[in-house]
Amino acid sequence: MSQRPYWEVDQESRPYGSQPGGGVGGPYGGSTQTTEPLGHYSPPPPPRRKRPSVSTIVAGILAALLLVTGGFLASELTQEEPTETTTTAQNAPAGPVPVRVNEPVAEVAKALLPSVVQLETDGGLGSGVVYKDGGLILTAAHVVEGNTDVVVRLSDGRRVDGSVLGTDPHTDIAVIDAEADDLEVATLAIDVPLEVGQTAIAIGSPFGLDSTVTAGIVSAVGRTLQTQSGGAVSAVQTDAPINPGNSGGALVDRTGRVIGINDAILSGGGDNAGIGFAIPIDTAFQVAEALEEGETPTIGFLGVTPADGTGSRLGALVTSVVEGSGAAEAGIQEGDLIVRYQSEPIESAADLIATIRATQPGTTATIEIVRDGQAQELAVEIGEPPSD
């Protein structure tokens, strides 16, 4: 019995993000993902107040007495020796947190909460992370979409004005300049490899509840996440509970370093189902530095319009090739199935888009295609997107 090629699989075993038939409309497009952005939480109107009955008041007094007594006893039983703390410059990165073995999340929350803000926009509420001196804040582009100005609510309760310096819809990253110079700067885990299973702590404002901390693990890395604009980016998957309003907030490791910017959840009803996604901090920081200077972030361009492989074929199916592009010069043709890029598997159109965008223009890459059932490798020079 002959063995199937690796690019052919049973339909039941297709991995996440590889649903068939996801055609796109241009060389930048990608297949549709069932992820939902988390920003723009709009609080509901307050409910009408009801007068409590006499029985309710009596029950409340009894419960309060029990709570006071129980709280006193609990505090007597659980008192700990105070831990030493060190102070740093007010607006300098806090640095890795000295972790207590029994309560690492509590220590991280204490250190990072001053660096995570709530953003009020015309569309609702979101979150942001102070990442540089001078009030520079990272957030998700869909949180501030359509806004040039926002209100920044700090962890100490202050509200300051902020302006949107720039957005990048391809990676869903935006930068805000807040009118405050004394903000606590978060430590970023730049060039720090992530491990599946490591602690992941989400901090933000889900449903408008500012300074909310939840914890879980890094469930996967390198997941292809499709943004609202049709772009795609390699993302961190986590089971740390994140919900609407968390977008733009911090995903943090157990030492208090920001590893990602919370961005989307996989859900059919808008609520958390244990599958959330964050833009890796390396990607977010690189994009932010370009936006600070008013520049367009540099991305790679292959010059093909991809669709997901059909039937049992995993990969990115080439539906058209841009004349004069690196793909055309290398001999890639309509109907080719791209299955590997630099020896890494490509399982969908979104996979290809995210991978190409993350490649520096001028790079010569080895791309493996399947044509007429035969695999072959082509050397392709990655270019820059056309200016028009």
User: Tokens 């190409």 appear where?
Assistant: 356
What is the DSSP code (8-state) at residue 228? T
Q: What are phi and psi of 104, to 5 degrees?
A: -65, -35
Q: Which of 168, 172, 210, 263 is catalytic?
A: 172
Classify each residue of 58-86 as buried b or exposed e, where b means 16 or more C-beta atoms within 10 Å of its C-beta.
eeeeeeeeeeeeeeeeeeeeeeeeeeeee
Cα(176)–Cα(166) distance, rounded to whole angstroms?
A: 7
What is the DSSP code (8-state) at residue 326? H
Let me know the angle formed at the C-alpha of 330 by 357 and 222, rounded to the nearest 5 degrees.
30
Cα(252)–Cα(257) distance, rounded to whole angstroms?
A: 5
Strand bridging mode 173-178 / 159-168: antiparallel
Whether 239 is catalytic is: no
CA atoms within 13 A on the CB side of 129: 35
Whether 142 is catalytic is: yes
User: Tokens 């920003």 appear where?
Assistant: 39
Whether 247 is catalytic is: yes
Q: Which of 142, 168, 234, 267 is catalytic?
A: 142
Q: Which of 115, 127, 247, 348 is catalytic?
A: 247
Instruction: Please give the distance of CA 351 from its chain centroid, rounded to a whole number.
Output: 16
Active site residues: 142, 172, 247
